[in-house]
A and B are shown apart, each in its own frame.
Chain A
Amino acid sequence: MIAKLTWRNLWRNRRRTLITMSSVTFAVFLAILMQSFQKGIFDNLVNNVVSFYYGYIQVHKQGYWNEQVLDNSFFYDDSLVMKLSGNPDIKGITPRIETFLLASVGNTTKGCMLVGTDPVKENLLTGLEAKIVEGKYFTNNEQAVLIAEGLAGKLKLSVDDTIILFGQGYHGAMAAAKYPVRGIVHFGSPALNDGLLYLPLTQAQFFLSAENMLTSLAVGIHEPEKMPAIQQQLLSVMGKSYEVMNWKELMPDIANHIKADGSSFYIFTGILYLIIAFGIFGTILMMTAERQYEFGMLIAIGMKKISLGKMLLFETLLITLLGVILGLLISLPFVFYFDKTPLRITGKMAEAYERFGFEALFPAAVNSSIFITQSLIVLVIAFLIGLYPLWHVSTINPVLAMKK
């Protein structure tokens, strides 16, 4: 009967209950949508920029990242691979030699980054073959390049056209060669899409006069959450001659952006929750004030204060729970829709995102923890507010409460 009483009490003032419930629903909906978008956007960003090229962790010769020149490359042999491949959390390791050089076609010359990589391992780590939009993937020892779509566009290159590369090789050696374009690849990140050029590893090493030398080992991992632990393991295995950096250290701008955006999200949801908290509190305050006489009467006839307080707490939780459930139900289709059909931003805002190396695509992440966390936060707020009537009831004097 207490449950029945609690339920019916909720609907004494139907309009007020519906308004309170709607505000909770709206808060949960907004918070879930915001966090799903935030996570979706960041996941997409990390996917675009990190797992599409950099890998979650990179190993370099000590000092390479501060001075990214070929002379800071390291000798690559099987013992090095053995050190790394024993870790079951590592998905794959891609050896690379990277350098900046000039690419020229006719009268057009553009700066680009040459990446010499093992075609098979690169494909396993970053799925490079799937990014081919024209032409085909290259093989080991093939004397041909893959070029990023944006760069190809700037150089007006098509598949089977020839590109001339020139720059500086290992220890100041002159590097110049021409290669046919085997395929054109598309990257989500404009920064990568406008500047990358791939050669098979051995070809690149030969071209740069850097046989068996590497500038980096890109490490792919199965579970991004384990990145700090894997980084620590690698640090101890590789020793002080090498630097082991995670993607946040490799791209601090992006990591900082995610952090800053995360903070603004917390501030915004904090304000949202504060508004909701006041909304619920207002309802509870009115409810307790209106039913003062009744509380006095119930205590007078023999209802324990703690039982009355619990009943009021349940009323608060129930009204919130209904709002939360409604918020969850409404947000689900939106989150699923925007997961499958991400928002594509255009115009100046898109340009701003692209300048940061973001793909201006806003997908929503479908993640059960977001739904659970947001619901729990609102319920905890309601519980804390529900403690007010509990306290209020404990102070009621039935005689005073029943005085009009």
Chain B
Amino acid sequence: MNNTVIDAHNLTRIYDENTIPVYALNSVHLHITKGEFTAIKGPSGSGKTTLLNMLGGLDEPTEGYVNINGTNITQLKGNKLIDFRLNNIGFVFQSYNLIPVLTAQENIEFIMLLQKRPKAEREQRVTELLKEVGLIEKAGKRPGELSGGQQQRVAVARALAPKPQFILADEPTANLDSVSAGNLLDIMAKLNREEKMTFIFSTHDQRVIDRARRVITLEDGKIVSDTTPAPLVHTNS
């Protein structure tokens, strides 16, 4: 059985091609299988976010391609690409993740509304997800009324709502205190363990790196190491 979720081949991203070329990514090959809990680390400017953007179909490579479950997303354009992202990729950004005028519940439901799912299904899933991230009692709160950690948990729930193939999380703990970061990582680890949800993080945060089962290190747009540390044993922060 083929468990490949992402197959990135020869990913290269060059900025200022016509003047002095800057390689944000340089011939990156990456293979992600279902259920991975992978951290991409590296110093600032090493290409972590660029790689994540390409895996998420937000940015186009100068060379190479990204294949997700057999679909070459590099060839998708416009609404087809947006639809693909909606139905296959979950995103958790560093901050300002949620729509500020919608409640936690509405933020999660919103993405399923974009998928045109029936109301009953949406409501059931929202409840499940809020329970999953431990925020059922905060369902009616707007982002401004939630702490940073709670907002990120809602963002994770929203990313899970459309039942994606994998979740890309760009520095999800960067703005969180250690307790909130630990709680968030616990939730993601649990989802990974119990639901086989694939997570790919770009991070500087050692707490995330410590919990990852695969750590890819980027430097100057190249993968300099790709290791699989000891299996995840933490369940608490």
* A11: B residues at CB distance < 8 A: 101
Q: How far is the CA of A5 from the CA of B56 in the complex (A)?
A: 26
Q: Does A304 contact B (CB under 8 A)?
A: yes
Q: Which of B53, B83, B85, B96 contacts A399 (CB 8 A)?
A: B53
* A306: B residues at CB distance < 8 A: 79
CB <8 Å contact, A305 and B82:
yes
Best-buried of A2, A302, A304, A306 by chain B (most CB within 10 Å): A302
CB <8 Å contact, B96 and A301:
no
Q: Which of B82, B87, B93 contacts A297 (CB 8 A)?
A: B93
Q: How far is the CA of A67 from the CA of B9 in the complex (A)?
A: 97
**Nearest Cβ in chain A — how far from B147, in angstroms?**
19
**Nearest Cβ in chain B — how far from A394, in angstroms?**
10
Q: How far is the CA of A293 from the CA of B97 in the complex (A)?
A: 9
Q: Does B106 contact A (CB under 8 A)?
A: yes
Q: Does B61 contact A (CB under 8 A)?
A: no
Scan residues 1-45 of chain A and give those whose CB is less than 8 A from a CB of chain B: 1-2, 4-5, 8-9, 11-12
Report the interface size class on chain B: 20 to 34
Q: How far is the CA of A1 from the CA of B112 in the complex (A)?
A: 11
**Nearest Cβ in chain A — how far from B230, in angstroms?**
34
* A177: B residues at CB distance < 8 A: none
* A402: B residues at CB distance < 8 A: 93
Closest to B98 in A: A297
Given A294-B96, A399-B58, A302 and B102 contact (CB-CB distance below 8 Å): no
CB <8 Å contact, A294 and B99:
yes
Residues of chain B having any CB pair with chain A under 8 Å: 53, 56, 58-59, 79, 82-83, 85-87, 91, 93, 96-97, 99-102, 106, 109-111, 113-115, 158-159, 162
Q: How far is the CA of A297 from the CA of B94 in the complex (A)?
A: 11
Best-buried of A1, A293, A294 by chain B (most CB within 10 Å): A1
CB <8 Å contact, A5 and B99:
yes
CB <8 Å contact, B106 and A4:
yes
Q: How far is the CA of A352 from the CA of B97 in the complex (A)?
A: 67
Q: Which of B85, B102, B115 contacts A5 (CB 8 A)?
A: B102
Q: How far is the CA of A4 from the CA of B142 in the complex (A)?
A: 14
Q: Residue-by-residue, is A278-315 near B (CB-CB < 8 Å gives 1, otherwise 0)?
A: 00000000000000011001111111111100000000
Best-buried of A1, A5, A294, A301 by chain B (most CB within 10 Å): A301
Q: Which of B53, B79, B159 contacts A304 (CB 8 A)?
A: B79
CB <8 Å contact, B110 and A1:
yes
CB <8 Å contact, A12 and B58:
no
Closest to B106 in A: A1
* B86: A residues at CB distance < 8 A: 301-303
Q: Which of A4, A12, A299, A301 contacts B100 (CB 8 A)?
A: A12
Scan residues 109-132 of chain A and give those whose CB is less than 8 A from a CB of chain B: none
